[in-house]
Amino acid sequence: MRSSSSSAQEALEILAARLRRIRKGARLSGRELGRLAGWHASKVSRIEHAHRPPSTHDVRAWCQHCGVPEQAEDLIASLEAIEGMFVEWRHMERTGLRHAQESVLPLWERTRRFRFYAPNLIPGPLQTRAYITAVLTALQQRRDLPDDVEDAVQVRVDKQQVLHKGDHRFVVILEENVLHQPIGGPNVMTGQLGHLLTVSTLPSVSLGIIPLGANRSSMWPTEAFFIFDDEEVTVELVSGHLTVTRAHEIAMYSRTFTELTELAVYGKAARTLITRAIQVADEQTSASP
């Protein structure tokens, strides 16, 4: 369960400290608690030092043997919140991609200000159906998932209504190399880049592109991240989906995003970069047999 997220680790340490206080309040040693619960002698120590998370069964047994069974449900709620900070793709997508797409709908519905930094792919709200299909098909095949790509694509397309409804605001920063990643092939990219030109003119969208020649001495490319209002940051890692909710970490991502926006070009300059990428995609299409 442990991840690179300091949010998740610190929350686990807080939970571990609560469990340790409960044990000491019951005047039990770690060895005595382990004996009562039928655990290996080192298990209590590993849990209390946040070296491993307890299971819900562990929490209930801990509280029962320490004489405070009424505290179990509150502790389990904390445990479930920690587990939600980092979710492996294999768990999130075990029934297919549609569930993963649907799971973020409540977050999207309540967010008003979206800030997206994308160093490798065009973000979901700005994708065409063909681009979405190419991305999700690749994920489905690479991760050997049940094939519900068509349904998952529709969910993502439906989510794009937030671009046109309500008072939502999107600030999107792309690295220029994203424009030249032939996702789905040149034809798909040509359509995607043309769509990018169109959505960049929407009043709800601010699109910035960091040119390949930008001076990166002070701010180099980072992992892709998405900021929802000032309440939550999500990061898509190779192994899973990371959720950041601690205020000081959100502030770090917010500052990083601001620095990235200062490297980007906008308006006519951004559209010029997109147009050049379309020309490259067209040349690739013409060169194809």
- Within a 10 A sphere around the Cβ of 251, how many other Cβ atoms? 12
Most distant CA atoms of the chain, gap in Å:
78
Tens-digit pLDDT profile for residues 131-153? 999 999 999 999 999 999 999 99
Tens-digit pLDDT profile for residues 27-86? 999 999 999 999 997 999 999 999 888 999 999 999 999 999 999 998 988 887 777 677
Q: In whole angstroms, what is the distance from residue 208 CA to residue 136 CA?
A: 25
Q: Hey, do 6-86 and 93-287 end up sharing a CATH topology, with the first three levels equal? A: no
* Helix H or strand E encompassing 88: strand 86-88
Burial class (CB in 10 A: 0-12, 13-18, 19+), 179: buried
Tens-digit pLDDT profile for residues 165-177? 889 999 999 999 9
pLDDT range class, residue 2, cuts 50, 70, 90? very low
Domain boundaries, the chain: 6-86, 93-287
6-86 is classed CATH 3.40.50.300: no
Of 111, 110, 89, 119, nearest to 101 (Cα)? 89
Amino acid at 189: M
Tens-digit pLDDT profile for residues 82-109? 776 777 788 788 889 998 899 889 999 9
- The whole-angstrom distance between residue 128's C-alpha and the CA centroid of its chain comes to 20
Tens-digit pLDDT profile for residues 198-241? 999 999 999 999 999 999 998 999 999 999 999 999 998 887 88
The residues near 76 (Cβ < 8 Å, ≥ 6 apart) are 56, 59, 60
pLDDT of residue 289: 63
Average pLDDT, the chain: 91
* Residues 146, 139 contacting (CB under 8 angstroms): no
CATH topology (fold) of 93-287: Endonuclease; Chain A (3.30.870)
